[in-house]
Amino acid sequence: MKSAKKDLLGIEELSTDEIGFILDTADSMKEISLRDIKKVPTLRGKTVVHFFHEPSTRTKTSFEIAAKRLSADAVSISASTSSIVKGETLIDTARNLEAMNPDVVVIRHQASGSAQMIANRIRASVINAGDGMHAHPTQALLDMMTVREKKKTLSGLKIVIAGDIAHSRVARSNIIGFTRMGSDVVVAGPPTMIPMDIESVGATVTYSIEDAARKADVIMILRIQKERMDDFLFPSNREYASFFGLTHKAVSKARKNVVIMHPGPINRGVEIPPEIADGSRSVILDQVENGVAVRMAVLYLLIGGSRHASDN
Amino acid sequence: MKSAKKDLLGIEELSTDEIGFILDTADSMKEISLRDIKKVPTLRGKTVVHFFHEPSTRTKTSFEIAAKRLSADAVSISASTSSIVKGETLIDTARNLEAMNPDVVVIRHQASGSAQMIANRIRASVINAGDGMHAHPTQALLDMMTVREKKKTLSGLKIVIAGDIAHSRVARSNIIGFTRMGSDVVVAGPPTMIPMDIESVGATVTYSIEDAARKADVIMILRIQKERMDDFLFPSNREYASFFGLTHKAVSKARKNVVIMHPGPINRGVEIPPEIADGSRSVILDQVENGVAVRMAVLYLLIGGSRHASDN
Amino acid sequence: MKSAKKDLLGIEELSTDEIGFILDTADSMKEISLRDIKKVPTLRGKTVVHFFHEPSTRTKTSFEIAAKRLSADAVSISASTSSIVKGETLIDTARNLEAMNPDVVVIRHQASGSAQMIANRIRASVINAGDGMHAHPTQALLDMMTVREKKKTLSGLKIVIAGDIAHSRVARSNIIGFTRMGSDVVVAGPPTMIPMDIESVGATVTYSIEDAARKADVIMILRIQKERMDDFLFPSNREYASFFGLTHKAVSKARKNVVIMHPGPINRGVEIPPEIADGSRSVILDQVENGVAVRMAVLYLLIGGSRHASDN
């Protein structure tokens, strides 16, 4: 990756070997965050621009901390303070940022394809931190890192992803990533929330989370987005939870040492009961911790090596 | 403190010796900000997260400058850009931040007790930068530092705190702090703004600022919060000023070298006349300057020593 | 400049030699941003406060990147998170910032004269990053740098500035700057957008951009501010574009190697056709790149030398 790729836009562009190499690198990076002095000079003098068009605590903070622990200079732009409010197009904003000679632009944007569009037009590396319903590759990488940490392998595992699959960039990136690494992915959710062509990317479809959970090694429950609940006419949180939330019964059908995941932020008592979120099988906070490590690895692999110096 | 305490949540948890040690440390830190190169490597590789739920110029900027002058990595999260807007609970947000391995979380929040609640749940040090009407310990420390600087001691001084005592975390922390250090604290304000049990914490109560000011060494006038004035049915700023603001007559009854303080931001002509705020007895800007020094001291004492490496 | 001036408030305060020296310094600074390690230790331990009261991508980001590439500690305050919302006056906010011992305060504010007002009251250096309709000196410096880069000189060039001259701080600072450096400045725009006394500062006035463009070396087209279009009763963008936007016909009348400039953000198809903005004569992105270099130069010249250590 270090000598080959300019950007990280989606999991589909990564080979099995490349994913494995990123996860190995992230394992080493994780150790840095556990030191007393959590900082290495690796990216000193590099400029990372965080360009976030949607509210985000964990992803934005995770990237900022990752950049700073590698000694990069981090600059943040949010939509509300940017020239976007003056009517500038996204491409013009990106080209203007580019002119300031950043090494990486990390972008989150509500439009699917926005990260690709920008990556095509600027020389700097682009990391997709979530574009519409399309992709969120660092989330998939941190999820794979977390599962690999607990299960020692990704190959042959049964991974259940449950919830609003159709509108979730997290689901889409994870289905592609886990499938590529040899896992069997089963998606579960109400029919309106399962996209028509999902089996073509290698996932099996069920409409019952309890059926899906049978002998699962991992259950990843997605966040229900409240603003979308209105569209689907759920009369209440309680109804959603009882039909499509994670239940104790579902967990009981999984393997004994099943790993429970959630990309956060969680709606306690809606898609996940608090005692499961906080229980011993939950790795939700490991996911967050590994997020910093994965972002350090991606930043390092994209701009820390010799590619930039020679090719760019 | 360095080897004993994880958090700074309130003044009441500090002994006389501990307060004295923080103020001594702050005196040394102040010197750094007067150098040509205002930076020491003390907290290099430490991560400080500033998590502010209320608007703030001076406290947030003061903490950020303090962290940077000690070479820490500073990351900021404000409520409007955080997952709070997605409905996540405060505790979940805090636990997620924790998972990114920060050394300190500095929190300001409108709910009394929020800092304590978070400190109980995360391993990182927590500094309370103001929680509801409860406490604002670094403000009290910078106020004590400023008075000690001018008066050489805190013992035996008459400290008047005037204004809306009942709703002020600044008043509460200062009453506890100055009393503990041997000062005599007199509070003054309209009866509706004096809490019932205030004498139990060691303060004397008056309802006239001019009576209170007699032979005072220090007069600290609190900010009147305009949004609260409506609740108390003051017909105008002018009326508030004439009854409960700081007057020249009050100042004239104090000791000749009385020190005039205000935690800021000031409402000129409401609780304090401009010529007093800008006069030679005013130490309002010294308070701001000492704020940076006190925050450097607290950051250093909480995470700069060996406690973290060994106990955490 | 290094040993003489405290602030950069407007171009009018700079001599021909001083402008030349800033541009020479900016040329050297530009090279730093092209290195693999884009960082020098020049301003290590200096504190730069960015105090922005208006939305801004490029100027704020440009200053932040400039400060970080010089290793200064950069702190940002925006109006929405500042004590301004609590009713504090601008001067009080500035004096409070001052008390935290910054080396530079970079200010953008909607009130003309605000930067000067603050500079008069604080010891720290003040850089005006745009005050109302008054001045935007770093924009004029980056524009002069860009033209000098392309034309090798500023002397004897014909510079056309077109658009809403009356309300543009960019126009005002550029007219003064280019005139001082020996260029001939011609302004073009509808009569309601040309100030009465503009000829007194050395500019020639026309009401037709095509007349103005004849034999021009540089055409700088200003941004039309949509909120102002209502005031002037333009029925549509299209009408504005056809009467007062930059046209191919205007460009054809200029010198063959005319340089096309725009301070950004651009309104594509309103004041500038996309094919001109993106064409080979456009230096719009050079302007952005040079903006970082000019700000590095100004920061360095104001606080990097020995003036602060000895005089302040």
Residue A287 CA to residue B255 CA, distance in Å, equals 61
- The answer to whether B125 and B104 are in contact (CB under 8 A) is yes
Chain B residues with beta carbon closer than 8 angstroms to that of A294:
none
Say yes or no: C227 and C91 in one domain: no
Smallest CA–CA separation between A199 and chain B, in Å?
Answer: 31
Say yes or no: A189 and A247 in one domain: yes
- Give the tens place of pLDDT for each residue, A189-236: 988 889 888 888 889 999 999 999 999 999 999 998 766 655 555 667
Q: Residue B1: its pLDDT value, please?
A: 43
Per cent of chain A over pLDDT 90 is: 74
Within a domain: B5: no
Crossing angle of helices A114-121 and A90-99, rounded to 10°: 40
Domain that includes residue A146, residue range: 137-283
- The answer to whether C133 and C173 are in contact (CB under 8 A) is no
Average pLDDT for A50-54: 90
The helix (run of H) or strand (run of E) holding residue B204 is: strand B204-206
Q: Please, which chains are in contact with A (at least 3 CB pairs closer than 8 A)?
A: B, C
Classify burial at C128, counting beta carbons within 10 Å of its beta carbon; exposed 0-12, middle 13-18, buried 19 or more.
Answer: buried
Within a domain: B3: no
Residue that the structure tokens 């699962």 belong to: A216
Copy the structure tokens of residue B89: 């609970």
Residues in chain A: 312
Say yes or no: B191 and B272 in one domain: yes
Closest chain C residue to B75, measured at CA: C75
Chain B residues with beta carbon closer than 8 angstroms to that of C308:
36
- The confidence band for A3, taking pLDDT boundaries of 50, 70 and 90, is very low
Classify burial at C34, counting beta carbons within 10 Å of its beta carbon; exposed 0-12, middle 13-18, buried 19 or more.
Answer: exposed
Half-sphere exposure of A172 (CA within 13 A, CB side): 21
Return the closest-CA partner of residue A277 out of A290, A289, A263, A291. Answer: A263
- Give the tens place of pLDDT for each residue, A237-256: 777 777 778 999 999 999 99
Say yes or no: B50 and B143 in one domain: no
Domain tally for chain B? 2
Q: Which of residues 78-137 of A touch B (CB under 8 A)?
A: 78
Say yes or no: C34 and C170 in one domain: no
Among candidates A38, A56, A264 on the partner chain, residue whose Cβ is nearest the Cβ of B101 = A38
pLDDT tens, N- to C-terminus, chain C (312 residues): 454 799 999 999 999 999 999 999 999 999 999 999 999 999 999 999 999 988 777 899 999 999 999 999 999 987 665 555 456 788 898 899 999 999 999 999 999 999 999 999 999 999 999 999 999 999 999 999 999 999 999 999 999 999 989 989 999 999 999 999 999 999 999 888 898 888 888 899 999 999 999 999 999 999 987 666 555 556 677 777 777 789 999 999 999 999 999 999 998 888 999 999 999 999 999 999 999 999 999 999 999 965 433 333
Average pLDDT for A256-273: 93
Say yes or no: C151 and C103 in one domain: no
Q: Is the pLDDT of residue A309 over 50?
A: no
Within a domain: B300: yes
- Describe chain B by its helix, strand, coil percentages, rounded to 5: 45, 15, 35
Cis upstream peptide for C265 (omega within 30°): yes
Within a domain: A6: no
Copy the structure tokens of residue A255: 């393997």
Give ∠ CA B273-B274-B278 in degrees, rounded to 5: 125
State the complex-level ipTM. 0.91
Say yes or no: A60 and A125 in one domain: yes
DSSP state of A273: -
Q: Which of residues 212-271 of B touch C (CB under 8 A)?
A: 226, 264-268
Say yes or no: C117 and C151 in one domain: no
DSSP state of C306: S
Residue B220 CA to residue B288 CA, distance in Å, equals 14
Identify any residues that bridge with C160 across adjacent strands, giving them in sequence order: C186, C219
Per cent of chain C over pLDDT 90 is: 74
In a mutational test of the B interface, the residue from C92, C95, C98, C125 whose CB has the highest number of chain B CBs within 10 Å is: C92
Smallest CA–CA separation between C59 and chain A, in Å?
Answer: 10
Within a domain: B47: yes
Give ∠ CA C273-C279-C281 in degrees, rounded to 5: 110
Q: Residue B310: its pLDDT value, please?
A: 36
Among candidates C44, C45, C83 on the partner chain, residue whose Cβ is nearest the Cβ of B57 = C83
A312 touches chain C (CB under 8 A): no
Say yes or no: A44 and A112 in one domain: yes
A152 residue type, one letter: K
Q: Which of residues 28-67 of A touch C (CB under 8 A)?
A: 44-47, 49
Say yes or no: B19 and B114 in one domain: yes
Among candidates A39, A264, A285 on the partner chain, residue whose Cβ is nearest the Cβ of B44 = A39
Chain C residues with beta carbon closer than 8 angstroms to that of B264:
83, 88, 92, 96
Copy the structure tokens of residue B81: 């850009």
End-to-end Cα, chain C, rounded Å? 15
In a mutational test of the B interface, the residue from A36, A222, A289, A295 whose CB has the highest number of chain B CBs within 10 Å is: A36
- The answer to whether C67 and A75 are in contact (CB under 8 A) is no
| DSSP notation for B15-84 | -HHHHHHHHHHHHHHHHHTTSSS---STTTT-EEEEEESS--SHHHHHHHHHHHHTT-EEEEEEGGGSGG
Within a domain: A189: yes
Say yes or no: C106 and C191 in one domain: no
- The answer to whether C220 and C175 are in contact (CB under 8 A) is no
Within a domain: A201: yes
Say yes or no: B108 and B44 in one domain: yes
A128 residue type, one letter: N
Among candidates B82, B98, B100 on the partner chain, residue whose Cβ is nearest the Cβ of A62 = B100
Within a domain: C297: yes
pLDDT mean by block of 10 residues, chain B; 312 residues: 79 97 98 97 97 86 98 87 62 92 96 94 96 96 98 98 93 97 96 86 92 97 75 65 86 98 91 95 98 98 66 36
Largest CA distance in chain A: 59
- The answer to whether A151 and A29 are in contact (CB under 8 A) is no
How much is the pTM?
0.94
Residue C64, domain CATH: 3.40.50.1370
Q: Residue A228: its pLDDT value, please?
A: 61
Q: Residue A190: its pLDDT value, please?
A: 86
Q: Is the pLDDT of residue A88 over 50?
A: yes
Q: Please, which chains are in contact with C (at least 3 CB pairs closer than 8 A)?
A: A, B
Smallest CA–CA separation between C309 and chain B, in Å?
Answer: 6
